[in-house]
Chain A
Amino acid sequence: MPEGETGIRKASTLLVAIILVFLALSIAAFYYGINAYMHGGDGSFFLLIGFSGLALSGYMLLQTRRRTLKIVFKPYQIATTILCSKCGFKNIRDFQRGDYIFKEEEECPKCEEKMMITSIYREPDEEEKN
């Protein structure tokens, strides 16, 4: 399309580098805390900052990752019902381009009367029903 750049870009490398340094420090703090406990010392402060640092940097890393985008043009399952007004024979098939409600269709296989499209609709998916 004849227009300029959108300005949409990925997370900067600098930001990712900072997060990784922060993550490394958090792991080190965590290790230091556990080590202190194992040698009979008190490592609760290091465990605390190690854990919160890990959580924070993990969250930030998740935010920077490139998400897979869902295609929103989901194709709906559209049903066309063709009915014979004489004998009541009903045929339900997938919608085809050119179908419309009250369109005359092929002859009825039972009584050879012209059939007609009486309904075109879609069944809502589970997400829509809730």
Chain B
Amino acid sequence: MIPEVSQGLFGGDNIIGWILQIVWLVFFVVFMFYGQRFQMWAMLREVQSSLFRLKLIRDEGRKMAISTIKEIGKPQNDPTEQVDRFLEYITILPQSMDPSGIVWKLEHMLDVRDVRFKDEVKFMAPQADENQTRNLANTLEAALALNIIYKVIRHFYELGKKTLSLYIIMQIQMILPLIMREAKAYASALRAFTYGQPIGDGAGALVAAKLMHGHRKRKIAKEIVMAKVTIEDRTAYVIKAEGPGGNIGKPGEAMKQIIEENEGKISTIIAIDAAQKLEGEKPGQVAEGIGVAIGGPGVEQYKTEETALKHKIPVNAVVIKEDIGDAVSPMRKEIFDAADVAIERIKRLLLERTKKGDSVIIAGIGNTVGIGQ
């Protein structure tokens, strides 16, 4: 074979043979010197294709947000310009050079952001009621997240193209599958918020809603409702964000309030939340442990930990496993069914960890869109 090939390579008595041999040699030489560049172009193409898809998702999200605002809010003027301005909003997080007191600064920033978002939505959609305003604010937040993802990826793509740095392109190409997954999750979230459908993240709120349904409720903290329920001969203070609008409220603040009202005489805190599942785990799997199961920026978790520590209250967690896509897309049946399993776990925890007549706090954490109480 080798002599035949070499004969073919160096011999040849016709024009096609010569052309092919030259092309073959050029091909080798070019690949020797520009192989890495070809690899880079292939990566850039892959990023470009994903970027195009991200743009499509972002634009579709924007269109959906605008049409929902027009449909629900019935504004007198076209809200497109306001929506576009909203999609460019930035939040500057507090300086952390001196970390002391940063939680309160962060809380203040988040409060300001929340008020600003709701005011903007009320301005864009004057006819929307309170629940619809919350859902629209969530819709716009999802559209904003999609816009940020698109712009960050575009930044690295353009930077990679300008600098022709393999490492810039490589790092973005490597994380692209995860980013695309996140973008698709936000796209699903957008649709869910638009229609006010319960999402996977609301699993904890659903558990609390099931426990407090039919009992008298009162507002205990910002956008948080509480009901006093007797479960297994214990007094349970069940809290959740006020639904059915898209809302997470301030559960940490509510727990602090309940503990102070009871002068610290709370036997245990049980927080129920959705938790990120690992690949291979089934969605809707219920797990329990210790600690404060409150996701998000950490302010509410910090507050609960501080209060629990001050009064030496044990904190228990019950989590419902799901992936990022399930957390922000309409609630899957497995996750909905897991709420009853979680309630059984709570009852068992109460029997095992507390005595008859004790007072406990049961906090259902998560976005309560589409879930009443």
Q: Could you list which residues of chain A lie within 8 angstroms of chain B, going by C-beta atoms?
A: 1-2, 6-8, 22, 25, 28-29, 32, 42, 44-46, 48-49, 63, 67, 69, 71-73, 75-76, 78, 95, 97-103, 119-124, 128
Extra contacts, 4 of them, besides A46-B8, A101-B243 (Cβ < 8 A), are A32-B17, A78-B195, A102-B371, A120-B197
Query: Residues of B contacting A45 with CB < 8 Å?
Result: 4-5, 7-9
| Overall SS of chain B's interface | helix
B48 touches A124 (CB 8 A): no
Q: Is B277 part of the contact surface with A, judged by Cβ < 8 Å?
A: no
B196 touches A121 (CB 8 A): no
Q: How far is the CA of A129 from the CA of B24 in the complex (A)?
A: 48
B20 touches A25 (CB 8 A): yes
A101 touches B330 (CB 8 A): no
A49 touches B20 (CB 8 A): yes
B30 to chain A, nearest CB (A): 11
B16 touches A69 (CB 8 A): no
A-contacting 9-mer, from B57-65, B113-121, B264-272: B57-65
B370 touches A100 (CB 8 A): yes
B55 touches A98 (CB 8 A): no
A95 touches B161 (CB 8 A): no
B76 to chain A, nearest CB (A): 22
User: Hey, what's the 0/1 contact readout for B92-135 against A, CB within 8 Å counting as 1?
Assistant: 00000000000000000000000000000000000000000000
A71 touches B60 (CB 8 A): yes
Chain B 37-58 interface residues, beta-carbon cutoff 8 Å to A: 45, 48-49, 51-53, 55-57
B330 touches A102 (CB 8 A): no
Give 7 closest A-B pairs by Cβ, nearest first: A45-B8, A100-B244, A102-B372, A121-B336, A121-B333, A122-B330, A101-B371
